[in-house]
Structure formats: C-alpha cells, structure tokens
Amino acid sequence: PDTAGPGEVRTTCAYCGVGCGILARPDGAGGITLRGDPEHPANHGRLCSKGFALGETLSQEDRLLAPRVDGQEVGWDTALGLVADRFSRTIAEHGPDSVAFYVSGQLLTEDYYVANKLMKGFIGSANIDTNSRLCMASTVAGHRRAFGTDTVPGTYEDLELADLVVLVGSNLAWCHPVLYQRLAAAKAARPGMKVVVVDPRRTATCDLADMHLALQPGSDVALFNRLLAAIDANGATDPAYLSHVEGYDAALGAAREEDGATTGLSTEELAAFCKLWLANERVVTVFSQGVNQSSSGSDKVNAILNCHLATGRIGRPGMGPFSVTGQPNAMGGREVGGLANTLACHLELENAAHRDLVRSFWDAPAIPEAAGPKAVDLFQRVREGRIKALWIICTNPAVSMPDADAVRDAIGACDFVVVSDVTDDTDTARLAHVLLPATGWGEKDGTVTNSERMISRQRAVLPPAGQARADWDILAEVGRRMGWTEAFDYRSAAEIFDEYAALSGLAAAMGRDFDILGLAGLGPSGYAALPPTRWPVTAQGTTERFFAKGGFFTPDGRARMVPVTARPPAARTGPRHPFRLNTGRIRDQWHTMTRTAKAPRLNQHLGEPFLEIHPADAAALGVAPATLVRVANPTGSCILRALVTDRVQQGQVFAPIHWTGVTAPSGRIDAVVPGVTDPLSGQPESKAAAVAVTQW
C-alpha cells in the first residue's frame, strides 16, 4: 500500500545521508517489521540491503541497559552526579578547555543542539567536534569559501533531470544505494543520459558509467582545473552569471598552470571528459569521500564549484555541484553547529556579531572566540593531557579515527572518560570510566537532515531498552546538574526543535541561509506530525534550489571562485612503502559494525576484512589469492585477506573501514592511516596512506 497501514510508524533510516523514509511496525515480540515509505520524497518506497535489515539489528543481547561506573551498574542519579561533578571540578581546576565532547553524525539534531549549547554556550569552550569531521568537513569548508555559507544548492531530483552526472570519489552504488537506484532508473528511462565515474578504483558504481576516469589518487584538482581551462578556451562561460561571481581570472590563472599530466589520464580521456561536460548544460557533479578525505579536500571541492560557477550551472533543475553526505545526520550536525568552528544555524564561531546573537539568545555566560580543535587535534590534546575529561557520544573513535592506536592509547590514558552508547561492546566503550545507556534507532525521537536539505522525523517505534535515555535528555540533565537549570529545562525533543527554529529566524535576519522559522511553534502535535520538509522554511514558503540567480551569503552577495592548485597526497610512496592505500565502505556494513554485524544476511556479502590488490602486484609479492597479508607503515599495521583483483590499479590497494579489534592482529585499517589533515577543513586524508604489503 502507498500509505501507512494500521500500527505503522513513519520514521527514517539510521544509516546513510540519503535519508530514506521507513514505515515500521512493532512485531509484538520486541522487534519491528518494516518497509520503505512510498510517500517519502528521498526514496519513494525503496530501501537498500542495510535499511531492509534494520529490524534484524535490534536484538538486546549486547545492549547497555543501565549506567555503569568502573564496570559496576549504578543508578542514573549516581552516574550523572559523577559526570557533572567531574566535569565541574576539572573546569574549576584547569579551565573550560580541559574538557571536551566528541560526538557523531548519528545523533539526532536535537541531541546535537543540546551538546553544542552545553559546551559552547555554558561550559565556554569550543572543545566539541564530531565524527562528521571525517566525512564532509572539506565540503563545509569549500561551500563556505565559495558561497559564504554551507549551502547544498540542489536536490536529488537534479540527478534524475541531468543529461550528465559526474560522480567524483563516490561509490554511490554501495555508499548511497537508493540514490544510485534513482539514478539508474532515470538512466534506464532516458538512455541518452551520460554518467561519468571519476575514481582510481573500478567500483560497483562503474557498472552504470559511460566513462570511467581512473585518475591518480589526489589529482582531482588537476582534473577540474583542466576542465575550467577548457570551459574558458571554448567560450563556455556564462557572462551574465559571472556578474554574481568574483575571482574568475585568478581561478582561471591557477587552472591554466596545470596541464592535467598529474591526473594519470591520457590526453584523449581528458579531452573526452571536457567535451562531454561542455556539451551538456544539465550537468550535476556529485562528490563524496574521495574528494573530502584528502589533505587537499577543500581545494578539490572548490575546483568542482569553480566549474559550475563559471558556467552558471547551479541552482537550476538538473544542474549543480552536489555533496552526498555519509551519515544520517551529518547535515543536521552541520546546521546545528556541531563542528568545532561553527555555531548553530550556520552562524560562525569566529564572527563577533554571530557570537553575540547566540549568547544573548541562549542567555549564555560565555561563548569562546576561537575555533576549537578539530577531531585529530582534539585527540592530540587528549594524548598530551591537556584534555582531562572527555565525553564520547554515539561513536567509536578507538577504531574509526586515523592513527587509531594512538587515539586508543590517548583515550585509555585520559583521567575521566564518559561514553554514551547503545552497547558496551565497542573498543571505545571498553575504555570508559562511565558508561551511559542511550536510546537507539527505533527508540529515538527527533529529526535528521539528509543530503538534499530534507528534514525528516525519526520516531520511536519501541520503548527504550532497559534504562536507556535519549542523548539530549542525558546532556540536559548534566547541564542542569552543573548549575544551568533554566537553560537546559527541556522536557521533549519538540521543545528543543522549537528553540532551534526560533534561533534560525534570528540567524536568517543576519543573512544566513539556514532558516526554519516557519517550523517554530509547531507544538507537540505539530512536531509529532511533521512531514519531510526541505529547508529553508519561512513564512513565505520554501526554496527548492539555491543560487540560480546568485544571492550568495557573502557580504556582497557574490560567489567566490577560489584559485586552487593540485597537491599530491601528503604521504610519499617509496621503496619501503610502495603502495597507495585507499579505504572505504562496503555495501552491507556500516561504520564499525556495532549494528550491521548483527544481521546475518549483511555478514554474507563480504564476511571478513580484505585487501584488494592488483594481480601483478600480488604476483610480484608472492601473495596468493585469499591468503593473509600484513599492511604496515610507521603509523601501525593490520592483517587482511588478499583479494586479488584488477579493480585496483597497480601500486594501489584498497581496504574496508569497518572491522574492529584494538589489539594485533586485527583488520582495523585506521591503525595504518596517519593523522594527516587538510589544512583548512581538518579532515583526515583517509585514502592515501603509503604502506608496505607482505605475506603474513
């Protein structure tokens, strides 16, 4: 049926940034049955393998059901009293920057809002960052440089309306499967549509591609600079649109200095790509982690944006640059100021007027003037002992951070570590002094924003397991116990959303893009019934797409083209570490597998950690298919099963990010990824380590 049946609850998938709608129904035995929501605009009833299996991941066998202190079950009163007391005492003795929160793009917007309000507004430190830093911080930095704020201009429908879709560093088929299905369906209905995949590796997404450009890792800037030079040489700029843009000459000057040689692509491939791009006005350039997770990630984003700005191919149906985010609420986290250098509603931490607005709205004692440490730096400060009390919420950094051994050791040596999660069975939870049971998917109630600015409700289908509480509720109670009674006097997610919506109206009055004032004052019933809604939502209605006629969020309203020059990855390959290591997701697992590994059918896809290695390289090393290999460099090592395939180029290897295990031997690939970051965005270079491979 096209509509919700009796007992079905409308909610949203817990995984990727596509943000698919789900109709879920309690099965009467503690679990749920589910199907795709035919009325949700992101998926129109579709779900991928992970979404379909969500109901199989809700078992309670490893659930954290009660608070624990040093391994002993305690009541909430004892646990939260201890957390508030230790944070207060640490701040009193060592100042506000001696404490930190590390949060997650899995949090709901309301959780995220309260965490940021507590740290930035009341504790008075910017020591809060999120695992979204590992996912799309380079896009945020690129958007802010070009547009003046972190705005995604287009919608998913643009991929279906385009005549050319260029997927850069995106294995959409595995990482955003329902969006891939929509693209595949559009191409099947309109075979003239062209798809280009730009990726060093031949991924499953290449099955749909008319052209696969297997460029050298890290050379995306050179490719798009080459395109910009071709746009200019062929008179393909849009002079009228360029009146909304600043910096064309400088960006073109930088672009002309590159000849594309560093891309590793042939002259013919480069010419064919440019010809296709120039011939199709309706072009969408989709980009994801292959662009973002790089020491030049921000420049890669701006190289892409430059081409769309120069041609005015932005904000109109079927055209524009399009960032697809990894996590279910990476976008909500961006909007709510979840990064160490931002404030709620796309306000800027380092802008005095923005700080004043938020401080007065929150009636907060102090808001820090400088950005806090980004994720890699935050854990560096933990390692140095400068951060003495750390609260990790809904994420597993001992596995997922680069330089994971060092991060594990830093957390292990920290004076006071609190972990809020659904389970005690993670490598990070095992390092905690205090474990706080949080509600999980199916129990949580709040909102998320997907990659096309669509705000959707996650609704509770089941009661909380054991004594689990919502993250916003736990954070608010700690805030009250630290003395800020009124500021954290929330009784529901709806109240938090209402406050957030009101703040967005003030931010919009200061010229910011994120405006959901039209959703303020919904009240409990309006919030409960909120349908999927794309922001902005003002009294005048909504805006489907941004920037078709300029209107950027810079002081003069014009976009900025940024001159960028290609830089190779930071790690150099050489005789001792000859392989370039790419990392990424597989189709049926999510993050560090705390949820997806519970579903037997998801484990059947690819059952153990592996290393894709080219047949010629395997032969040279004497590595037989399916034998074990050791991947190592000065950062660390891990053990993987050799998967000999020409999907990867010679000299390159690929490994999945999901497998855990903090003691050797393990398949935890982030143990060999160094903590090198993009200088602007702070996003780690997760796809370009230099490694040695040996038979194990």
- Tell me the closest approach of the beta carbon of residue 194 to ligand SF4, in angstroms: 23
Q: Does 13 bind ligand SF4 (CB under 6 A)?
A: yes
Of 148, 153, 177, 326, which lies in the binding site for ligand SF4, with binding defined by CB under 6 A? Answer: 177
Pairing relationship of beta strands 537-538 and 541-542 according to DSSP bridges: antiparallel
Q: Does 178 bind ligand SF4 (CB under 6 A)?
A: yes
Helix or strand holding residue 405 (H, E): helix 404-413
Among 180, 165, 196, 56, CA closest to 590: 56
Q: Does 672 bind ligand SF4 (CB under 6 A)?
A: no
Of 8, 9, 10, 18, which lies in the binding site for ligand SF4, with binding defined by CB under 6 A? Answer: 18
Q: Does 454 bind ligand SF4 (CB under 6 A)?
A: no
Among 658, 651, 653, 657, CA closest to 642: 653
Determine the Cα–Cα distance for residues 229 and 307; give it in Å rounded to an integer. Answer: 9
Q: In degrees rounded to 5, what are phi and psi of residue 91? A: -65, -45
Q: Does 9 bind ligand SF4 (CB under 6 A)?
A: no
Determine the Cα–Cα distance for residues 176 and 16; give it in Å rounded to an integer. Answer: 7
Q: Which residue is nearest to ligand SF4 (CB)?
A: 51
| CA-to-CA separations, 280 to 13, 271, 466, 513, in angstroms, rounded | 34, 14, 56, 29
Q: Does 448 bind ligand SF4 (CB under 6 A)?
A: no
C-alpha torsion sign, points 670, 301, 191, 157: positive
Determine the Cα–Cα distance for residues 347 and 342; give it in Å rounded to an integer. Answer: 6
- Tell me the closest approach of the beta carbon of residue 457 to ligand SF4, in angstroms: 14
| CA-to-CA separations, 279 to 103, 274, 275, 328, in angstroms, rounded | 44, 8, 6, 35
Whether residue 457 contacts residue 11, with contact meaning beta carbons closer than 8 Å, is answered with yes
Determine the Cα–Cα distance for residues 234 and 271; give it in Å rounded to an integer. Answer: 12
- Tell me the closest approach of the beta carbon of residue 180 to ligand SF4, in angstroms: 8
Determine the Cα–Cα distance for residues 338 and 658; give it in Å rounded to an integer. Answer: 24
- Choose one: 174-182, 339-347, 418-426, 514-522; the region binding ligand SF4 (CB under 6 A): 174-182
Q: Does 297 bind ligand SF4 (CB under 6 A)?
A: no
- Choose one: 94-102, 173-181, 523-531, 570-578; the region binding ligand SF4 (CB under 6 A): 173-181
Among 347, 356, 60, 50, CA closest to 174: 50
- Tell me the closest approach of the beta carbon of residue 19 to ligand SF4, in angstroms: 6
For residue 345, give both structure tokens. Answer: 């509603």
Q: Does 51 bind ligand SF4 (CB under 6 A)?
A: yes
- Choose one: 42-50, 193-201, 256-264, 661-669; the region binding ligand SF4 (CB under 6 A): 42-50
For residue 321, give both structure tokens. Answer: 């640059």
- Choose one: 41-49, 133-141, 550-558, 647-655; the region binding ligand SF4 (CB under 6 A): 41-49
Q: Does 47 bind ligand SF4 (CB under 6 A)?
A: yes
Q: Does 286 bind ligand SF4 (CB under 6 A)?
A: no
Q: Calculate the CA dihedral of residues 47, 51, 53, 54 and round it to 10 degrees.
A: -140
Q: Does 50 bind ligand SF4 (CB under 6 A)?
A: yes
- Choose one: 47-55, 114-122, 386-394, 650-658; the region binding ligand SF4 (CB under 6 A): 47-55
Other CB atoms within 10 A of residue 98 CB:
20
Q: Does 156 bind ligand SF4 (CB under 6 A)?
A: no
- Tell me the closest approach of the beta carbon of residue 20 to ligand SF4, in angstroms: 3
Whether residue 339 contacts residue 133, with contact meaning beta carbons closer than 8 Å, is answered with yes
- Tell me the closest approach of the beta carbon of residue 14 to ligand SF4, in angstroms: 7
Name residue 390's beta-bridge partners.
100, 417
Whether residue 542 contacts residue 534, with contact meaning beta carbons closer than 8 Å, is answered with yes
Determine the Cα–Cα distance for residues 617 and 595; give it in Å rounded to an integer. Answer: 35
The amino acid at 260: G
- Tell me the closest approach of the beta carbon of residue 9 to ligand SF4, in angstroms: 16
- Choose one: 48-56, 307-315, 348-356, 433-441; the region binding ligand SF4 (CB under 6 A): 48-56
Cβ distance to ligand SF4 smaller for residue 43 or 660: 43
To which residue do tokens 């940034």 refer?
A: 17
- SS3 per residue for 488-540: CCCCCHHHHHHHHHHHHHHHHHCCCCCCCHHHCCCHHHHHHCCCCEECCEECC
Of 32, 34, 48, 159, which lies in the binding site for ligand SF4, with binding defined by CB under 6 A? Answer: 48
Per-residue binding letters, 543-582, with ligand SF4 (x by CB under 6 A): ----------------------------------------
Determine the Cα–Cα distance for residues 526 and 412; give it in Å rounded to an integer. Answer: 45
Q: Does 15 bind ligand SF4 (CB under 6 A)?
A: yes
- Tell me the closest approach of the beta carbon of residue 179 to ligand SF4, in angstroms: 7
- Tell me the closest approach of the beta carbon of residue 641 to ligand SF4, in angstroms: 25
- Tell me the closest approach of the beta carbon of residue 632 to ligand SF4, in angstroms: 32
Of 8, 10, 11, 16, which lies in the binding site for ligand SF4, with binding defined by CB under 6 A? Answer: 16
Cβ distance to ligand SF4 smaller for residue 20 or 214: 20
The count of chain residues that interact with ligand SF4, using the rule CB under 6 A, is: 14
Q: Does 19 bind ligand SF4 (CB under 6 A)?
A: yes
What residue ranges bind ligand SF4 (CB under 6 A)?
13, 15-16, 18-20, 43, 47-48, 50-51, 176-178
